[in-house]
Chain A
Amino acid sequence: MDIQALASQIPEQGEQSLEGIDFITSGDQYLTFILGQEQYCVDILCVEEIRSWENPTKIPNAPLHVKGVINMRGIIVPIIDLRQKFKIGELIYCDTTVVIVLTVETDAKKRTIGFVVDAVSDVLNAEQNEVKSAPAFGGCIPQNYIDGLLNVGDKVVTLLNVNALQVIELHKLS
């Protein structure tokens, strides 16, 4: 066996395997999901995983949109229903209801929270300058949660601010 000949084959194979995989993209990537009839997206780098809905353990006296906590491989992860938090769509929990688990690291502290959405739809590529600022007319989502809007074809996707999503409101006794 001629080792030289063998070695020369290796890069070719490597090149072949690279083909067809489009992981060299320009700009940022966003995960889009659906709440009611509307499309939203978050920075894909924050997405830890996408899970199917399971009944969480309730947290006593928590706000209604905090559904409870689940065990994600030994980590206690709170589950927040985005539909309920933003008052969009109907609260139906079925097999297609999904939970997007987002992780954000701030000041050396890592926080992982799951968000209930109606469905996950796509991964979006967009340059920073494609993100348009949102009009100040308030819908039911407070302005600080919105980073901007993205045009996708005829539709508009709202880019949500993950840091704002991760802020947890203090409990109040009912």
Chain B
Amino acid sequence: MSIDLSQFIPSFLEESFEGLELMESSLLNLEAGDNETIHSIFRAAHSIKGGAGTFGFNKVTEFTHLVETLLDEMRDGRRDIVQSDVEILLDSVDCMRLLIESARDEEDCQDEKITQTSALLAKTLGNDSQSDKSIVDNEATDADIAENGQDKKHWQIQFIPEHQLVQTGNDPLLLFNALADFGQVEVQANIDNLPPLTDMNAEELYLHWQLSLISDCSEDEIKEIFEWVEDECELIISLKTNENTQTNNTPKNQRSSAENLADDNLNSSVGSAPENNQNNDLTENKKAVQSSALDKKVISTEKSPAKKSEVGSIRVGVDKVDSLINLVGELVITQSMLSELGNDFDLTKVERLTAGLEQLLQNTKELQESVMRIRMLPISFAFNRFPRLIHDLSKKTGKSIELIIKGEQTELDKTVMEQIGDPLVHLVRNAADHGIETADVRLKNGKPETGTITLDAYHQGGNIVIEINDDGGGINRQAVLEKAIEKGIVEPNATLTDSQVFDLLFEPGFSTAKEVSDISGRGVGMDVVKRNIQSLGGRIQVESEQGKGSTFRVHLPLTLAILDGQLVRVGSEVYIIPLIAIVESLQIQSKFINRVSGDLVLYRLREDNVPVLPIYQLFNLPADNKEVNNALLVVVEADGQKVGLMVDDLLAQQQVVIKSLKDNYQQVDGISGATILGDGSVSMILDIPGMINIALEMAQKNQKMLEQETV
């Protein structure tokens, strides 16, 4: 019986990529240097190596082995941590990623970078030995074998596994396949130990194998393949010097069961008819092995067309899963309560029944919300790649750049996150390449030598806003305009506002960089960036001041996003104010109220005068309390403007799932969306900037009416 290991490959890949990310970020921090970091990098590399070995991703294993060796020396203090080594390791991480990706896609990775890096690694390690050679040569090995058979060694391997080998998830077939990557393998199965059918346990392995391998690999490399099973088998490796002693005369009851598989020759027949009872079982065994290999092929063909589509898995925080489990637990309790109630039901229990049903409703609702929360990921997933990017860019451009990341915990829908990654990379690259000036220019302009790029993410009025800010030279308005005129996008004597000029950057084929670098400047990007963002239903804004820097602001909708909200009541309606917008909530004291310019009410909040906006007035609602004195005031801030919203009552604070009003209705001024409360009713989420706009419009209208009256 063989366990189909391919089912574990996705989780291996996911773990590996996570490990690589960890290695990368740790390596970037390593520059400061401490032992624990090296240990964690080493552990990540080690588990990637181990996993890759298990799944037969030999190139990954070999490459990682070199990395691990280097890390091991660092860990033991045999080697000092120097910048050049860290750079090599960072490159290695990239190579490992490439290798794992190509293993995933079942392609052959031919990237030169891998050959170079592995050579570099080997050189750093200072051993000119086989490992170096085998890695570099590895890609060619398979093809070369036929011609260069002479200088290959002829290994004889006797592999006698214990009966329970397959129960631990090891598959001899994978080992043989791994061997086949070294060179030509012949496999003969020995069925001497096969018990009669009646005594056979389907989950045990009774076969052992005699393998012959023609390859230039070393004994250690062969042993490494069997590393994971060495405790569970007897392994005899010997070197045959005489080429001609190959055993072609297979004994009658020995059948080359795995041979075909090793050569991936799946067409070979299942074998001649069974000759005796024992062979019957063997054939079965063999069939199983073969079919599993076939399965794998089928899977791989199925996978390849789907490769491009973004059907992935989500790694979910334990807290979210825990809350789901809690909710399911509650659901089960409610269910058992209800079914107990139903056992002998009479009218006296109606009250308990309604209470129980209410609870069930609540549970289901919460469960639904929690499931939706699973899709939300903190934006740090998208931001994580930027430290490395900046590190590389600053090395490449020779500029010294510091990256500041804020608002990493802002949650964003997974689909949005996946699609916003590339546009963000582009914007950050632009900031580093075009935005930040070289150190001497910066010093000349009286700025600190190190440039700063700030990434920030926050929720604003039902949108998520991602800001990419640099303190570089800013956008040269004149240059942009000239270029646009030169390209014929703008009429020569047109007058444009700053934002119109900056929007020109997103025209196709527009680049103001005087020199085209390999980082950016070909002008094939910004229009794509804009298109990508627009396809997500978002928009991008540019602000720039010559000599001070530029800010790119990406607004993205969060159709599924969750926000922390403060529930407030106005009349009979319940509204939700995003918690992030709230400065404070207070009860109005009449002595702090000032009336200015007619009927505008200002509230003195310490040093600030905060205009009071009664929600009932803005939304045209009946309210309990229309008097400003003693009313409750929620002070909110948007776009740097503080206003006080007058409400009737403050209710609970809770997380709410934002649902779009636009789907079935339309965008409503002052409302960023709706949500469904625990009791199933709908509640509107207030859009603070939108409400300020309404107030402004109303004020303007009133003034006009007054003017007309006076005329």
Contacts and interface: CB of A to CB of B under 8 A. Distances in A.
Interface of A: 56-62, 68-71, 74-78, 110-113, 168, 170-171, 173-174
Per DSSP, chain B at the interface is mixed
B620 interface: yes
Interface string B594-623: 000000000000000000000000111100
Given A57-B573, A57-B674, A60-B668, A76 B621 contact: no
A171 B682 contact: no
A61 B668 contact: yes
B661 A76 contact: yes
Residue in B661, B681, B694, B697 with the greatest tally of chain A CB atoms within 10 Å:
B681
A111 B681 contact: no
Interface of B: 368, 573, 618-621, 659-661, 663-666, 668-671, 674, 676, 680-684, 694, 697-698, 701
A76 B669 contact: no
Given A57-B682, A59-B684, A60-B620, A171 B668 contact: yes
Contact of B697 (A58, A78, A168, A173): A173
A61 B676 contact: no
Nearest to A166: B664
15 contacts: A56-B682, A57-B573, A57-B681, A58-B619, A60-B671, A60-B684, A61-B670, A69-B674, A69-B682, A76-B661, A78-B664, A170-B666, A171-B666, A171-B669, A173-B698
Contacts of B666: 168, 170-171
A155 B372 CA distance: 50
A74 B676 contact: yes
B548 to A, nearest CB: 38
B42 to A, nearest CB: 48
Nearest to A59: B668
B70 to A, nearest CB: 54
A69 B659 CA distance: 12
Interface centre among A56, A71, A74, A75 (most CB of B within 10 A): A71
Contacts of A76: 659-661, 663-665, 674, 676, 682
Given A57-B683, A69-B661, A76-B674, 13 more contacts: A57-B573, A58-B573, A58-B619, A60-B618, A60-B621, A60-B670, A71-B676, A75-B664, A76-B664, A76-B682, A110-B663, A171-B666, A171-B668
Given A59-B671, A60-B671, A173-B698, A78 B620 contact: no
Nearest to A77: B664
Contacts of A113: 664-665
A40 to B, nearest CB: 22
Contact of A61 (B620, B661, B674, B680): B620
Contacts of B664: 75-78, 111-113
A62 B573 CA distance: 14
B681 A71 contact: yes
A173 B698 CA distance: 8
A77 B618 CA distance: 23
A112 to B, nearest CB: 5
B174 to A, nearest CB: 46
B621 to A, nearest CB: 7
A58 B659 contact: no
A155 to B, nearest CB: 33
A93 to B, nearest CB: 15
Given A58-B573, A173-B697, A71 B680 contact: yes
Contact of A173 (B660, B663, B701): B701
Contacts of B698: 173
B665 A69 contact: yes
A59 B665 contact: yes
